[in-house]
Amino acid sequence: MNVSLRDPNIVMKLSRLGSFHQSKLSFLRSFLKEFKDWDYKRDLFELNENGHGTAVYSFKKENRVYSLICFANELNENERSDRVIATKWDAAFTLFDGVPTKQDIERLRNEVPKQEVGRLSYKELTLSRANKSVRVFNHVVERLSEGKQPDNDLLSRVGYLYRTTAVYGSGKFGLADRFRIKDREEIYGPFRLEMMLVYFVRQFTFDQVNHVAKSKNSKKAVKLDVNICKSLGIGNSTGLGMAPFIVNHPTLLNNWISAREISLKKIREIKIISEKDKKLFLECLKKSIKNVTSWNTESEYQKNKIKFLLSDLNKFIFYLDNDFNFEQDYAFNELYLHLEKEYCEECIEYVVSMMMEPYDDITSPLIKEMSSEEDKYFNIPTERTVEELKTILEKKYPDILTIDFSKNENNLNFWFISKNKEEPRLANRFDEVGADLEQPLAIARDIKKLYELLSVTKNSLTIARFLSTNNELRHVVRRAFIVEKFPYSEIQDNTIGKKIVPIDMLRLKLSFFGALKFDPRSDKWLRICMFQGAPLPEQLKNYDEHWVYN
């Protein structure tokens, strides 16, 4: 049986993308799998009694070494902020390519804590900073120093000791450009070095909390229980910075979504589901419910989504246990068709992620295809004609072409870069100043504009001739030829309309990172948790790949 790939015009709608969940394809899970047989080491740990100082952690295999350098500094309560406008943090980190010398560490001690205003070099790969969850950190120190383990309720409500507020890579602030390292097999999956940094930071937070507790009361202090450590991750506060990324990297976006869609297609094409695979799917699905029931958020928007998800999942599990026959041919296809008919988008995408769990043979090869050589597709094929371009727009942007952008509600917002932090922002174009400096992220509106212009242009004209007098729309001409080859490269929605929920864009990206428990703090930023439940570095050599659901 040949199952078609899902229609981009459905999958690439923001509400659907904003319903995506982590899966076997997620970057933090593929990172752990890739690095499980590397040698982990804590190379340096020089902290004072308050936990301030320097630490170095590394992964090594043959001649390759990646080292995380941590600088933990004193921070006044009134200086602690998760917002991107902050200038100081509890700790700052960089992932170093190789083994840092003392001189490297001294150089970086002056630069890394400054983050965006510091200068890094080609020897550094990623950069980040993090703040303590003060309430949790202090509680854990207090309890450990008294020889007791911390309150589990508090820990599970928060889920982490530290939150990162940005993770940078790929040439930012002088860091190594991707071209320098892209041929290394161990980092073929996207964001692998960012994942490594966060994973090391998680370990640092445990070591630091143990160290401070011991310094406080060396006689009585105990170490944080290994199982508690495992149940904690690293928090992350994420704002709009991530949203333009998925618009600005169309072929990369395509490759992420495409890996998911091809996985689903191949799973739906399996004729006979083995008992073992069926059991694993059901086990992961049922166990995963605790990730939903322990999902805490103050956001009414997310609470509502969780409520529907939970109710749908319970209904779905009941259906599986009582009415569904896994013995039938193409059972996963039947299951998927049933899902599409009966359940909400959150539930559909949740189950799609679960379906991948038994099928390592399907997902593993696709993980290597999730990066992109974007420059290869940059040039516009200017020998093509206006008629061809018009046909591409009609086929690839059917719903976008029906939007009326003369209505204010469809043209309400504009994306801009803030001057003080060079970060993307979204604002109402009719209430705020700055719309004249709009970023090229209103793709739907500009595609519609292009279509209207092409409609009054001679069909046989080449794109070269068309562009010679219409370069204002060059950016979307390029995109249209990209979407022709890469069907999942474009969000099929209006990113400047009244109804836009920007966190849908963040959620899409974070689901591919492997984040759990999205906690929107407004429609423009959210908190998440990464690596919660993941094996600790010492446990990596032999770990359960389905740890997310344990």
Partner 1 sequence: MRSLSEIETVSKRSSRAAGYSWGIAEEVAKNIRLLEIFSLPGIKNLNSFFKKKKELRLENISLINQNNEATKNEYCPIIAGVNCLDQIRTLENLNEITFKKISYPLLFLPFISRASEIIGKRIFLKIDDREFLLNYNNNIYSNYTKNEIVESGESIYFKILENRDSFEEREWNELYKLSEETFVEENESLKQSGAGAGLTDND
Task: Using CB under 8 A, list all residues that contact partner 1.
Answer: 121-122, 170-179, 375, 378-380, 382-383, 417, 440, 463-465, 467-469, 471-478
Nearer to partner 1, 168 or 350 (CB): 168
Q: Which is nearer to partner 1, 127 or 526 (CB)?
A: 127
Which one, 42 or 178, has the nearer CB to partner 1? 178
What is the DSSP code (8-state) at residue 540? Answer: G
Q: What angle do CA 102, 57, 89 make, to 5 degrees?
A: 85
Least Å distance, CB 170 to partner 1, is: 6
Buried b (16+ CB within 10 A) or exposed e, 66-77: bbbbbbbeebee
Cα separation, 196 vs 203, whole angstroms? 11
Q: Least distance from C-beta 119 to partner 1, angstroms?
A: 9
What is the distance between the alpha carbons of residues 377 and 388, in angstroms, rounded to a whole number?
18
For partner 1, give the closer residue by CB, 276 or 376.
Answer: 376
Give the nearest distance from C-beta 249 to partner 1 in angstroms: 12
How many residues are listed for the chain in this entry?
Answer: 550
Q: What does each C-alpha distance from 204 to 51, 200, 318 come to in angstroms?
A: 11, 6, 42
DSSP string for residues in 389-406? HHHHHHHH-TTGGG--TT
Q: Is 260 exposed, middle or buried (CB count within 10 Å of its CB: 0-12, 13-18, 19+)? A: buried
Rounded CA separation 195/531 (Å): 9
Q: Name the residue type at position 329.
A: D
Nearer to partner 1, 77 or 383 (CB): 383
* Distance (Å, whole) CA 414 – CA 111: 34
Closer residue to partner 1 in complex, CB, 182/279? 182
Q: Output 91 or 187, the one with its CB closest to partner 1.
A: 187
Helix (H) or strand (E) segment spanning residue 42: strand 39-47
Question: Residue 144 corresponds to which tokens in the numbers above?
Answer: 């450990």
Q: How far is the CB of 399 from partner 1 (least distance, A)?
A: 23
Q: How far apart are CA 34 and CA 30, in angstroms?
A: 6
Give dist(CA 255, CA 487) in Å, integer: 10
Q: Least separation, in Å, of the C-beta of 271 and partner 1?
A: 38
Cβ–Cβ < 8 Å for 429, 414: yes
What's the closest the beta carbon of residue 471 comes to partner 1, in angstroms? 5
Question: Least distance from C-beta 82 to partner 1, angstroms?
Answer: 25
| Residue 387 Cβ vs partner 1, minimum distance, rounded to whole Å | 17
State which residue, 121 or 410, has the beta carbon closest to partner 1.
Answer: 121
